[in-house]
Structure 1
Amino acid sequence: MTGASAHIRSYRQERPDERHGFVQIVLPVRGRLWIDVAGRQEELSCARGVFIHSGTSHAQRETAGNRSLVVELDEHRISERALEKLSHNPFLDVASDTRHLIDFMRGVIGLDGCRDDVVGLWAPLLIDSLAGEKTGIRARLNSLAALVEAEPFSPWTIDRLATCVSISESRLHALFIEEFGLSPHRWLAGLRMRKVCALLQNPSLTIAEIALRAGFSDQTALTRAMRHIVGETPAAYRRSRGIH
């Protein structure tokens, strides 16, 4: 394979001695799963995942009601440093920052199915989190910004943004001011409103539909926010551009 992909998968029967020509990461989101990697067996759970290197023999044994986020990556997409860290022990504890990243991707898959473009932006953050990488904060911040730009209507909060790059909210605020000249809140609000304006260009979408897609409670809430940020209502925006 080339690139990256992610799926929600349930294992319903034993799969002995599988091997893949790519890295596979299994992160349970519900239930438990027994897995053997190169002769070492452990039970996976929401707090315990596994990183399976390319070409490594592994076998799964189902448990009732298991569901996992399964990420598949070309090994060349992973830095040598991260690969070295993850080679010592394939079984990994899932930290809180990793859990936020898992929850994000689970939500994206639930809404739109497998989004390889978004997975490609998200995967470096996941690998850094799993490998415990705490260097290159500006690179992680820019990776996060690209991910948010691809999915601006996901339920991002300042806390989630900070957790995804393993820094405090105050540090996140300072970095956003330095990198983008805006606070995280203003940057996110502007990004979402630009996406709303792009959707308003599509006459087949009603303003109410756009409001719900953008995460507003109703059309009135979107109108109020857009008047504050853009200076005109959604309906006025469409009229001024001849969109009917």
Structure 2
Amino acid sequence: MQIPTQKTTPLFFALILLTAVLAILPVFATPITVTPEKTQYKAGESLTVSGTATPNTDITIQLFDPANRRIAIAQATANSEGAYTATNIYTFSGVDPSGTWTVKAYDPAANEWAEATLSLIVDVTPPALTITVEPVKPSYKNETITIIVTSDEELKEAPTVTVTQTGATPVTVEVTQTAALEWTGTYTIMSGYDGPATIEAKASDVAGNQGTATKTIVVEVVPAWQKPLSDLEAKVADLESKIADLESKVSTLEGKVSTLESDVATL
């Protein structure tokens, strides 16, 4: 007795092929994309991008300047869901050209490219700093003053503040941020250094441009009307000292004369 054999139809093979395609299709279903963290950058800021691509695939990211010169290249790996992120690809500087920059990402598994653009604005203007002194007075004695430094833009770090009194060594004043774009410190005026005192503040913005500001105050620990009297008192004291020294010498001389007369009398 002959057992009938089951024929494999073309439809069966088609179903197998379709099943295989459907199993593989999700792997390639995610199109490659690339998106910068920001659309506009300034000097001192770093580029970070994210996107989607074939899961578990190494993605190549390239950065081109407005002249289409490749400036940087980086790599990121898409996770099992196809998402990837690349950080600190490039840090823009003040010498980079302003304009439209292009980021390109390549997915080797899909053999596809994606690109996006961003703008770079290079800041070459130094920050405008302003110094304020409180309390506001025409002149200051040996007292503590408050120094306030403000800026018209974000700074890389706190300003460096120094105070130089007439004839004295410059003193650095520590300042702390007390408000947005504002730093405050205190300084105690020293006696013995009357005259103009210069307050200087220096700071750099995030692009590295350095700004400077100065302010002059008048230190008058000894009032002006007292100075002539003080000078006269000093001169009188000096004269008294010289007179006392002269009297001492006269007294010594008289003693010697007396001794000489005594010696002559004994002859």
TM-score norm. by structure 1 comes to 0.20
Larger fraction in helix? 1
| Structure showing greater Rg | 2
State TM-score, norm by structure 2: 0.19
